[in-house]
Amino acid sequence: MNKQIVLATHNKHKLREYREILAPLGYVIYSASDLNIDEEPEEVGTTYRENAYIKAKALRKMVKWPVIADDSGIEIKALGEHFPGVHSSRYAKSISDEYAVVGRHVIGLLKDAEDRSAEYHCCICLLEEEDSKPLYFEGICKGHILEERKGESGFGFDPIFHCDEANLDFGLCTEEEKNKVSHRAKALQRLMLYLTI
Ligand code: IMP
């Protein structure tokens, strides 16, 4: 496959995570912003897969390279089954534009919760040509919501998330540590496996 890929995101944190993981394979990753593409389709899907495909499809029409798009979210058991899940970004915005405020709000909601478990989910859609069959690569990262915010690393919900598997606070750890175990890293490793065979 062509070694140039366009990533359907304007999120610089996500872009950095993708570049860090795919650069060793010789891939050059452009973001939609690098190509001056501002349009973003509405994420009307009800699953990570559907939303990742909607984003990949919309961007693939506008560029000449293969596209990857991801959709991700956090699922916090005490707030409901798969909630906020695919709605994570919108849920956060409905609380505040500042994730520090969102984090404190979520911690408040979990004040009396016995089960603080949470999972990050990520689904990557690879669309090589506009009419290719979309391919999906998924990853989950399990952990729990902290009782107070810790650190400022990462983005979004990271300062209130503890990854159980690696025993890491995502708000305190380095990007390198997060990139070994995160939902996005796991999905990306599956994509990398596909790209190298
Ligand atoms: P989207 O995939 O760009 O639609 O956004 C998913 C939302 O889920 C983000 O805006 C964050 O609120 C949350 N999220 C997804 N992945 C992460 C992560 O690695 N760290 C922190 N928050 C995340």
- Label residue 13 by pLDDT band (50, 70, 90): confident
Instruction: Give the residue, out of 82, 150, 157, 178, with the most ligand 1 atoms within 8 A of its beta carbon, to mutate for a pocket test.
Output: 157
Instruction: Give the residue, out of 89, 161, 178, with the most ligand 1 atoms within 8 A of its beta carbon, to mutate for a pocket test.
Output: 89
Query: Would the pLDDT of 178 be above 90?
Result: yes
Can you give the pLDDT at residue 2?
Answer: 67
Q: What is the pLDDT of residues 47-82, one digit of tens each?
A: 999 999 999 999 999 999 999 999 999 999 999 999
Measure Cα distances from 104 to 75, 92, 154 in Å.
Answer: 16, 11, 16
Q: What is the pLDDT of residues 87-145, one digit of tens each?
A: 999 999 999 999 999 999 999 999 999 999 999 999 999 999 999 999 999 999 999 99
Question: 141 by DSSP, 3-state: which?
Answer: strand
**Mean pLDDT of all residues in the chain?**
95
Query: Would the pLDDT of 187 be above 90?
Result: yes
Residue with CA closest to ligand 1 atom 22: 156
Distance 157 CA to ligand 1 centre (A): 7
Per the CB < 8 A criterion, the answer to whether 184 and 165 are in contact is: no
Can you give the pLDDT at residue 196?
Answer: 86
Domains of the chain: 4-196 (3.90.950.10)
Can you give the pLDDT at residue 48?
Answer: 98
Can you give the pLDDT at residue 68?
Answer: 96
Residue with CA closest to ligand 1 atom 4: 71
DSSP, residue by residue, 45-59: -SSHHHHHHHHHHHH
Can you give the pLDDT at residue 14?
Answer: 86
d(CA 121, CA 1): 26
Annotated catalytic residues are 71
Instruction: Provide residues with CB under 6 Å of ligand 1.
Output: 11, 70-74, 88-89, 92, 120, 154-158, 182, 184
Query: Would the pLDDT of 1 be above 80?
Result: no
Q: What is the pLDDT of residues 19-52, one digit of tens each?
A: 988 888 899 999 999 999 998 899 999 999 999 9
Residue with CA closest to ligand 1 atom 14: 73
Segment 157-179 mean pLDDT: 96
Distance 196 CA to ligand 1 centre (A): 27
Strand pairing class (117-127; 168-169): unpaired
User: pTM above the 0.85 mark?
Assistant: yes
Distance 71 CA to ligand 1 centre (A): 8
d(CA 66, CA 76): 33
Per the CB < 8 A criterion, the answer to whether 102 and 95 are in contact is: yes
Can you give the pLDDT at residue 20?
Answer: 85
Segment 11-19 mean pLDDT: 88
Distance 11 CA to ligand 1 centre (A): 9
Distance 62 CA to ligand 1 centre (A): 24
